[in-house]
Amino acid sequence: MKGNTLILGIESSCDETSVAIVADGKDLLGCEVASQIPLHARFKGVVPEIASRAHLECINTLLYELMDTAGVGFKEITAISAVNRPGLVGSLLVGLTTAKTISWVLEKPFIAINHIHAHIYGAAMSYEKGPSSAFPAVGLVVSGGHTSIYKCISPLDMELLGSTQDDAAGEAFDKVATILDLPYPGGPAIDKLARNGRADAINFPRTWLDRDRFDFSFSGIKTAVLYYVKGKDLSFPDSSHLTEQEKADIAASFQAAVVEVLVEKSIGACKRYNINRLLVGGGVAANSFLRRELVRRTAEENIELVLPDLRFCTDNAAMVAGLGYWRYINGLFDPLDIDVSSVGE
Ligand code: KG4
Ligand code: ZN
C-alpha cells in the first residue's frame, strides 16, 4: 500500500547500513539492512574505519534493492531523512551524504534525524493502535552506544530524563562477553548462555546512583565481573579455569543485575510523571530476560508496555523514515550543509 507521504530513511550511525521507505509514518513498504558483524567479529568491537568503508561499499546497492522490493520509484519519494547524530562520524557521513545527494538531485526536502529518538519512534511503530496513539510515554533506549530514559510527549517532543554516566548497557554486555571469552557480538551470546545459569548465583552490584534520578552507570558491574572471573588479586589470566556452568551463572547473574536497574528506573519514571505507557528500543531490547522482566513488572504496575519485534530493536532505517514523517508534516526541514555529530541527546 502506498500512502500519500513516502519518506526514505537512511541509517548508518554504527555498524548497520539500512535504508527504508515508510508511508505516512506507519506503513513499512520496505527495509533493507546490511550488518557488518562478520567484519568486526575478530576485533571484538566496531572498528570505525572498517565500518565507514563498509557503509560506502553497500549503500547504493541497498537503495536499488529497496526501490525494487518496495515497488517505489525515486521520483515518488516525498522527502529524504537520515541520521546525522549521535554515532561514529565517518559512518554517519556516508548515510548523510547519500541522503543529501538524493535530496539535491530530486529537489525534495531533507530531514536530519537523532538516532536515539528514532529508536523510541521505532518502538511506537510496533504499537497495535498505531504510532500516533503511542504518546505520551516514557521511552527507554538501551543499545551498544546509549542508555537513556526520556519523557516523550509526542514524536517531536522527547525530554531527556537521564542517561548513562559511563558505559552503555550494551557495551557492558559486550565487555562481559569478552571477559567470558564468548563470541562477538556479546549481547546475544550472554543472553543465550544465561538461559542455563542461575540469576541469583552471584550478587553483582546494582548501581542505582541517585534513586530519584534516571541516570545509569554500568562500568562498576563490568569491573565486578572482571574481578570475579580473574580473582581479587587477578591471579587467573582469563576465564579458562571456569566450568560452563560457572560461566552460565556469571552471565545470568550479570544480566539480572543490569536488567533490574533498567526495569526499575523505567517504572520509576512512569510513576514520577504519571505516564502509564513505556516504549523500549535499542539492541539490548532484544534481550530475552529484559523482555520477560519488563512484561512482568509493567503488568504488576499497570503500565502498558510497547516492545518492538526483534528486528526493529537493533539499528534500522524504518525508525528513521517513520520519525522523518513527523518532521516533514511539521515543516521541519534541514539545510544541505548540516553536519554530523558524534554526540546528541
Ligand atoms: O541499537 P544497536 O543495534 O546499536 C547501537 O545503537 O549501539 O545495539 C547494539 C547492542 C550491542 O551492544 C549488542 O550486544 C546488544 O545491542 N544486543 C543485545 C542483544 N542483542 C543485541 N544485548 C543483550 N541481549 C541481546 N539479545
Ligand atoms: Zn542504535
Report how far ligand 2's centroid is from the alpha carbon of 201 (Å). Answer: 31
Report how far ligand 2's centroid is from the alpha carbon of 285 (Å). Answer: 11
- Output the residue whose Cα is nearest ligand 1's atom 11: 144
Residue 2 has pLDDT above 70, yes or no: no
The residues lining ligand 1, judged by C-beta closer than 6 Å to any ligand atom, are 14, 143-145, 170, 173-174, 185-188, 191, 282-284, 286-287, 314-315
In this structure, how many other beta carbons lie within 10 angstroms of the beta carbon of residue 223? 12
Q: Is the dihedral of CA 186, 94, 105, 81 positive or negative?
A: positive
Q: What residue has cell string 548523510? A: 96
Question: What is the model's pTM?
Answer: 0.95
> Which atom of ligand 1 is nearest the CA belonging to 255?
23
Q: Which of 55, 314, 342 to mutate to test the pocket of ligand 1 (most atoms within 8 A of CB)?
A: 314
Q: Write down the pLDDT at residue 309.
A: 87
Residue 44 has pLDDT above 90, yes or no: no
For the stretch 48-86, pLDDT in tens is 999 999 999 999 999 999 999 999 999 999 999 999 999
Q: What is the DSSP string of 218-271?
A: -HHHHHHHHHHHH-TT--SSSSTTS-HHHHHHHHHHHHHHHHHHHHHHHHHHHH
Q: Is the dihedral of CA 178, 181, 184, 190 positive or negative?
A: negative
Residue 1 has pLDDT above 70, yes or no: no
CA distance linking residue 318 with residue 320, whole number of Å:
5
Inter-residue contact 218 to 186 (CB < 8 Å):
no
Residue 221 has pLDDT above 90, yes or no: yes
Query: Given pLDDT bands bounded at 50, 70 and 90, which one contains residue 241?
Result: very high
Q: Which of 16, 176, 284 to mutate to test the pocket of ligand 1 (most atoms within 8 A of CB)?
A: 284
